[in-house]
Amino acid sequence: MNQEDATKILIEWLRDPDHGSFGSYGYDVYLPHLLTTSLRKRRMDEQQIHQTLSEWMPHFYAAAWDLCRRGIIRPGVYTYQAQSTESGNAGDGYSITPFGRTWIEESDLDSYVPTEPERFSKMLKPYHQKFGSGFGERSQEAIRCYGAHAYLACCAMCGAASESILLATAIEKINDEQKVMKTYSGSNGRSRVENIVIGQASARVQREFRGLTTLLKYWRDTSAHGHKTGIGDNEAYTSLAMLLRFAIFTNDNWAELTG
């Protein structure tokens, strides 16, 4: 058990809580009772259940706090003057927020997807230093937006983070940040900076580079316009995956791209 596993289980409980014979007092979810009921279904004896609760509950507390931070649940009872307990108010009991109910209803995929952005975050972090603080800020914002179901914003941030990679690579190649930024700010700036980076690269590198950036650029531009886009979970998740792949590709081909 770890926090990612606990988050997955807790989201399943939010959709279909089973407190067994214990009840939940005045809370939507009462963590010890949910976990105890779940462990009893595994036919554990009381001693095993007590030991497992001691080992696993800290992970569920951390998962619950993360969902609180994201506005999906909150500490406390679900309504005014509902029954409460000292343990519930100390961190065992939570209620679903109005935003949380909308979030839960939006996609049945979230029973397993929300843990993935945490992995994206860990896998992107090693590239923050190479591609700069702009990449770090935008990539992390993209992950936060995905977790909040702000899919348009996620795509916009993924596109912006990919451009941070492009700019960092061009600056490294010609060793002139002012010139790169001036080119980028001018007419057809993005295409001209791309030409600095891949204009003399091998056909393979050019092909992979364009393959990884075309959708990121398209979704970023589309999300920035005022018309209806149809961008949803699939596009945002794919944007995160392509951003990670673009970072890996650029790092693996750094010598050729900046040489």
Q: Which of 63, 65, 94, 61 is nearest to 77 (CA)?
A: 94
User: What are the structure tokens assigned to 165, written together?
Assistant: 């990679």
Whether residues 249 and 132 fall in one domain: yes
User: What are the structure tokens assigned to 235, written together?
Assistant: 């596009």
Whether residues 228 and 188 fall in one domain: yes
Whether residues 37 and 84 fall in one domain: yes
Number of domains in the chain: 2
- Binning pLDDT at 50, 70 and 90, where does residue 107 land? low
Whether residues 20 and 96 fall in one domain: yes
Q: Which of 38, 10, 45 is nearest to 22 (CA)?
A: 38
pLDDT at residue 190 tops 90: no
Domain that holds residue 43: 3-101
Taking the CB of residue 47, how many other CB atoms lie within 10 A of it? 8
Whose tokens are 């992970």? That residue is 59
Query: Could you give the percent of the chain with pLDDT greater than 70?
Result: 93
Whether residues 80 and 137 fall in one domain: no
The pLDDT of residue 114: 45
Q: Is residue 76 part of a domain?
A: yes
The pLDDT of residue 183: 93
Q: What is the CATH number of the domain that holds 224?
A: 1.20.120
Query: Could you give the percent of the chain with pLDDT greater than 90?
Result: 47
Q: Point out which residues pair with 93 in neighbouring strands.
A: 30
Q: Point out which residues pair with 94 in neighbouring strands.
A: 29, 75
The pLDDT of residue 112: 42
pLDDT per position as a tens digit, 224-258: 666 676 778 888 888 888 899 999 999 999 999 99
Q: Which of 86, 101, 107 is nearest to 234 (CA)?
A: 107
Residues near 140 by beta carbon (within 8 Å), at least 6 away in sequence:
121, 124
- Binning pLDDT at 50, 70 and 90, where does residue 48 land? very high
Q: Which of 8, 257, 246 is nearest to 142 (CA)?
A: 246
The pLDDT of residue 233: 80
The pLDDT of residue 8: 86
Whether residues 138 and 245 fall in one domain: yes
Whether residues 241 and 125 fall in one domain: yes
pLDDT at residue 13 tops 60: yes
The pLDDT of residue 115: 45
- Binning pLDDT at 50, 70 and 90, where does residue 117 land? low
**Mean pLDDT, residues 167-181 taken together:** 94
Q: Is residue 27 part of a domain?
A: yes
**Contact, 22 vs 35, CB < 8 A?**
no
Whether residues 26 and 85 fall in one domain: yes
**Contact, 135 vs 127, CB < 8 A?**
yes
- Binning pLDDT at 50, 70 and 90, where does residue 118 land? low
Residue 258 CA from chain centroid, whole number:
30
pLDDT at residue 166 tops 70: yes
User: What are the structure tokens assigned to 253, written together?
Assistant: 């081909």
The pLDDT of residue 57: 95
Q: Point out which residues pair with 96 in neighbouring strands.
A: 73
Q: CA angle, corner 149, sides to 139 and 8, nearest 5?
A: 90
